[in-house]
Every structure is written in C-alpha cells, then in structure tokens.
Structure 1
Amino acid sequence: MGNEPLTGSSARCITKNEEQSCGRGTSPQNITVILPAYNEEVSIGSIVILSKYYADHVIVVDDGSSDRTAALARKAGAEVIVHETNTGKGGALKTGFAAAEGADIIVTLDSDGQHNPGEIPKLVAPILKGEADMVNGSRYLNGHSTDTPAYRRIGQTILDRATIMNSGIKITDSQSGFRAFAASTKDLFRFNAQGMAIESEMLADAGKAGLHIAEVEIGVRYDVDCSTVNPIKHGLGVLVMVLKDVEFNRPLYYLTIPGMFFGIGGLFMGAKFLQDFSVGKSLFFGPTMLMILLIVVGSFMALTGILLHSMSAILRESRAS
C-alpha cells in the first residue's frame, strides 16, 4: 500500500466477516481526518495539506485558540469548526466525530507536527482488510526507543499498566493520539474526559464495546512538542482519571481484591493474637486496633466492589437493551 492515498476504486470495503462485502462494491472509502487544535498556527497548515493527500476530508476543530489556527487551517483547505472557549481534547474530538458524517474511516492525529500524516495508510490498512474496528498507532510496539526521554518512558509505562487494567486491552501505547476508527464505532465513545486523559477513556470504551483493536508502529517527533502542560502534572491527571474509571468499570480489581487482602491480613493477625493470648501473652493496643481496622476496611472495600460490579453490569445490560 506504501504511501499512496487510500481513496479511489482500489479500496475494498469488508465487514468483520471477511466473506461478506459491505455492499459498497468498488466505490471509494471515505477517509476523514480529525485534527483537534489549540494555538497551533505554526504547524496546522502543513499538517492539513499533508493529511489531505491521504484523506478525502480534513476537519480541524479549533478549540478556543487565540492565534490564527482557524484562518490558516481554512486557507490550507480544511473544514474548520471553532469552539469559542477551550473545552479540552475530549470536547474537540466529540465535535469532530459528530461532524464526520459520511466517513467510512475516521483518523485522529495531533496538530503539533509530532505525527506524520504519511503514515495514515498504515493505520487504515487493518480496517480496510476487515481485521480491526480500531487501530492504535504505537510509538512503542517494539519497545521504548533510546531517544525517548526517560521521564516519558517511566510515565508511559505507569499509564499503560493502569489503562490495560481498566480497558482489558493489551496495548503498548495507551496515550497515542494517532488512531483510526471504523465509522461503525463513532457513537461508542463518551468523550467525558478532560484534557489528554481522553486517550485512555476511549480505550476503556473500546474495551467495553468489545472492539477488535490492532496496533501498528508509528514514528514521532519530540522536538516539536509545544505543550505548555507540565508533563508530571499531566501524567498524574491522566492516572487519577484512569483509576476513577477503574473504580466503576472494574471494581472487583480496584476494591474487592485489595479489600480481600486487607481482610485476610487482619484475620491472620487476629488468629496470631488469639494464639498468643491462649498461652498467656498480653495483647497490645496498637496492633489490636490495626487488626480491627484491616478487617473492617477490607470487608467494606470487598462488599463495595461487589455492589459496584453488580450495578455496572445492570447498567451495561440496560444500555444494550
């Protein structure tokens, strides 16, 4: 497939059942690129022009920019939707997905130049072949490269582990903004997360929906990262959001299992105290209170996790019906 555009009669539309055509014959796939942008006047023009070479339609969502992002995106040929105030990346993506009417495949990438639009064909290929509903562009599919800053490697590993626990999807780059989606998935995402936590939230939604997800390796440029957000603050914010999501989506992991460990630890201490007491040894106030605390807190966490698990199962069934 190389770097040729994936529009035109050579593109074949296949459903998840590879033996069944989706009925569009040899008509072209409509590939729509969504670019959430906030004060990206330096790079937005070139990203739009490059994206147009590989897509039928480019939508730029100017999320409250104070510079010329919107004007330059229009001049480059994009459809531009302007938010009067900054709503965050989740809000920008929500607007873009809603505007992507008629798209067969939706591609998202960052507007700051970190991603190479020339890799769009690589991302949409698994969807065109019917092998995936969603494709994640991964910077780390073959491990962290040595030129990746150390703080990014550490933070990324923590966020990946938390996202995997929440979504149930084994992914190597949970924070990638370079992704492709089959049009059938566009209404599955909540777009509730603030800031950059949207990447993890979308994976959680994809996991709950049972989407087939593939990963392809992508390149990235760190020399154009113009983010004004402190990376430590950003990472902690994403982690807190993921853990909150885990609390409801996977309460057995987040509450019940730790609660059982606390409770068992307390019971073990209690058995040891009873053994000591039976042979005439004294009980000390501190360890005894710790034992009681572990049993009470552990029991509460375990029961709360079970209740939340039951509630989330009921909600999922009600939504499905």
Structure 2
Amino acid sequence: MKLIIQIPCYNEAETLEIALNDLPKQIEGIDEIEYLIINDGSKDNTVEVARNWGVNYVVDLKRNKGLAKGFMAGLDACLRNGADIIVNTDADNQYCADDIEKIVRPILEGKTDIVIGARPVDDTEHWSPLKKKLQHFGSWVVRKASRSDIPDAPSGFRAYSREAAMRLNVVNEYTYTLETIVQAGRSKIAMESVPIRTNAELRPSRLFSSMFGYVKKSMLTILRAFMMYRPLMVFSIIGSIIFALGLAIGIRFLVYFIGGSGAGHMQSLILASTLMLLGFQTFIVGLLADIISANRKILEDVQYHVRKLDFDKDVEKKNEMKDMEKEGKPESGKEM
C-alpha cells in the first residue's frame, strides 16, 4: 500500500520546510510513503527548498495556473507513480500533519473512498465571526448540492483512494474543494468526514483577496457544479419562476379584459406572453442540458477506463525499471 502526500505550492519557500518536517514518515498499514509538491509557477526558491528537503517528486508548472489546475496536476502525477492513497495538504502547515493517519484510516479499512478533514471552525481564533458564519453557510449549500453530510466543505485536507482520484474532474480554475464534493456526491462516490486539528496561522490566505470575492467565487463554483450535475432541476426552477410571473401578469390582464378595460392594458398581454414563452424556452434548455449531462456521465466513465489503462501502464513500466536496476535508488526531487 503506497501513500503519496501532495502539497500545492505558490511562493511557499518560507513555510514549506515547516510543513514538510511535520509530515509522517510511517503509518500503520502503509508500506511506502512518498512526497510530492506542485510548484504552481512560484517566483521564489520553493522548488529548491523542496529538493533540498528530499521530496520524491516535483510537478513544475512554468506559470501560475491556480489551485484547481495544480491540484489536478498533482493527482495525475501521484496516480502515474503508483499511489494507492493520495493525501492533499497545504504548504502553510495549516493542518496538523499527525492527523494524516486519521484521514487515511477509513480508506485503509475499506469504509470509504474520500475522507475530508473537518476543521474546528468555531474554535479557530484567527478567523473572524463573519468568516466562520460564511464557512458554515457555504458548507450547508454544498451539502444540499451534493446530498452529503460533509461539515467543512472548503477544507483542503483530504485523502483519496486511487479509484476515487481517477474519477475526479475539476473544470473551474478557482478551487477544487467545493466542486469535487458536489461531483463525488452526485456520482455516489463513498465519502465521509473526520474531525482534525489545525495549527497556528503562519501567513494569511492567498486564495482570495477579500471576503466578498471569496463568497462570489464560491457561490459561482457551487452553482456551476450544480448546473452540471442537476441541470434539469436548475433550469426548471428558473423557467417556472419566469413562467409563473408571466402567468400572473396574464391573469391580471384577463381581469381587466373581463371588466371591459382590456384595451388599455395591451402592454401587460405582450409582457405576459413574452415571459411565459421565455419560461417555456428555459425549461426546454433544461431538457437539452439534462441530455448533455447524461452524455457527460458516459464520457466520465470512458475517461475513467482510459485513465486506469494509462496510469496502470505507467506503474507497470516503473516497476519493471525498478526490477532491472541492479543497485542504487532514483534521485529524490524527480521533476514530473
């Protein structure tokens, strides 16, 4: 059983070594632990710090592509290097590394495929009351969208089984945390949460520049994911509201028409007809989107099997190369 711990990095030279030093060297039930960083176009010496420490793999992105793209690049590299379990954590040492054993344990026991660490949001001193309320609200929205019971959706401290990692897709460029939960929930991938601890803040979050920006991007990400997996429901709700508004205006016109003063309210009839037609068209768009969503599920299944063949072939080649080596080990800090 091989575990690879991946850390997305962007200008993390000051904190990366602290996070790496805390990572576990052995876990009961795990035969091999390796370490991987995703250098997301850092302009400092993040890569040098990682290689000097002795990480096994460096995924080097030449320019900054964002957290979501970096996360997927890391998953790809972990799978190609034979990971049975992948743990994602942060370079700012936000999460207590000792709890890695806690989040991989349910996967080792075969109970689930995804484990998300739930932070003690209400007890985190350096978070403002507003941020805590927004965290709870955002997690509630994700639970509704994904039909799951994950209490801390924005948490980036996670463990994935190999099977779950091969089924994940992230299409937004903001963050992977919310979209992957919605996808896993809608795809019925086994998922659970465990309580974890956090460390003192080493630096402010770089994921968003303001609270308003964070809320806006998070809501758009959730809405987009919801529309991808439940398009008929989303467009039916929107279409129904528009149609009902037009119907109400149409009834108002009929009341005036029956009363003999309909000639002076022709604008209401035109508006009612337009809104009802628009509502009906929105529902039709929902039907088309639902068909596209069904096709997307088929394509995701095809993609999973192609990934499995591709990654398993890479692992087989690497194992053959290891068997052929007479002596020595591959250099640490291998660039992907």
Q: Determine if contact 1:258/1:301 at 8 Å carries over to the other structure.
A: yes
Alignment correspondent of 1:239? 219
Q: What is the CA distance between 1:271 and its match in structure 2?
A: 2.6
1:88-107 equivalences in 2 (<5 Å) = 88-100=66-78, 101-107=81-87
More RCO (CA 8 Å, sep 6+):
2
Deviation track 1:156-185 (CA, whole Å, cap 9, x = no partner) reads 244334433443333222211000011122
d(CA) in 2 for partners of 1:297 and 1:46? 57
> Could you tell me which residue of structure 2 aligns to residue 14 of structure 1?
none
Per the alignment, residue 26 of structure 1 pairs with none
Q: Cα deviation per residue 1:218-256 (whole Å; 9 max; x = unaligned)?
A: 233463343343132233223223322322321123211
Determine if the alignment matches structure 1 residue 182 to structure 2 residue 186.
no
Quick one: which amino acid aligns to residue 40 of structure 1?
E
Aligned to 1:193: 172
Measured after TM superposition, the shift of residue 217 of structure 1 is 1.2
Q: For residues 66-145 of structure 1, what are the structure 2 equivalents within 5 Å?
A: 66-79=43-56, 80-100=58-78, 101-139=81-119, 144-145=122-123
Residue 215 of structure 1 corresponds to: 193
Aligned residue for 2:332?
A: none
The alpha-carbon distance between structure 1 residues 319 and 53, as it changes in their structure 2 partners (threshold 3 A), is closer
The root-mean-square deviation of aligned C-alpha atoms, in Å, is 2.4
For each residue in 1:103-151, what CA deviation from the matched residue of structure 2 results, as whole angstroms up to 9, or x when unmatched? 22110011112111111111111112211110011125xx744744233
Cα distance in 1 for partners of 2:45, 2:246 equals 62
What corresponds to 1:43 in structure 2? 15
Partner of 2:286: 305
Q: Report the Cα distance in structure 1 between the residues aligned to 2:270 and 2:133, rounded to whole angstroms.
A: 38
**Inter-partner Cα distance in structure 2 for 1:157 and 1:284:** 48
CA 1:299–1:81 in structure 2 vs 1: closer, same or farther (change >3 Å)?
same
Structure 1, residues 55-94: CA drift from partner, whole Å, max 9, x if none?
A: 6111111111111211112222212332221121222222
Which amino acid in the other structure matches residue 210 of structure 1? K
Cα distance, 1:150–1:221 mapped onto 2, change above 3 Å: farther
2:142 is aligned to: 163
For the structure 1 residues 67 and 292, does the alpha-carbon distance in structure 2 shift closer, same or farther, using more than 3 Å as the test? same
Equivalent position of 2:129 in the other structure: 150
With over 3 angstroms needed to count, the CA separation of the structure-2 counterparts of 1:318 and 1:34, relative to structure 1, is closer
Alpha-carbon distance in 2 for matches of 1:183, 1:317: 20
- Measure how far apart 1:211 and its partner are: 0.8
Cα distance in 1 for partners of 2:275, 2:42 equals 51
Higher helix share: 2
Structure 1 letter corresponding to 2:209: N
Contact residue 114 and residue 225 of structure 1 kept, 8 A: no
Structure 2 CA distance for partners of 1:116 and 1:306, relative to 1, 3 Å: same
Measure, in 2, the Cα distance between the counterparts of 1:84 and 1:146. 35
User: Structure 1's 92 and 317: CA in aligned 2 closer, same or farther, altered over 3 A?
Assistant: closer
Structure 2 gap ranges (5+): 28-32, 303-336
Count residues in correspondence.
290
SS in 2 for 1:216: strand
1:284 and 1:75 map into 2 onto residues whose CA distance is 78
Query: Paired residue for 2:249?
Result: 269
Match of 2:36, SS state, is: strand
Does the 8 Å contact 1:54/1:121 carry over to 2? no
Structure 1 residues 318 and 87, CA, compared in 2 at 3 Å: closer, same or farther? closer
Residue identity over aligned pairs, in percent, reads 25
Aligned pairs for 1:9-20 (under 5 A) are: none
- Residue identity opposite 1:302 in structure 2: F
Residue 146 to residue 279, structure 1, CA distance change in 2 (3 Å): farther
Of stretches 173-182 and 145-154 in structure 1, the one that deviates more from structure 2 is 145-154
Indicate conservation of the 8 Å contact 1:54/1:117, yes or no. Answer: no
Q: How far, CA to CA, are the matches of 1:116 and 1:235 in structure 2?
A: 26
Contact in 2 for aligned 1:30/1:104 (Cα 8 Å)? yes
Q: Corresponding residue for 1:15? A: none
With over 3 angstroms needed to count, the CA separation of the structure-2 counterparts of 1:313 and 1:165, relative to structure 1, is: farther
**Counterpart pick for 1:278 among 258, 266, 269:** 258
| Cα deviation, residue 261, structure 1 | 2.7
1:276 Cα deviation after fit: 3.5
TM-score normalised by the chain length of structure 1: 0.81
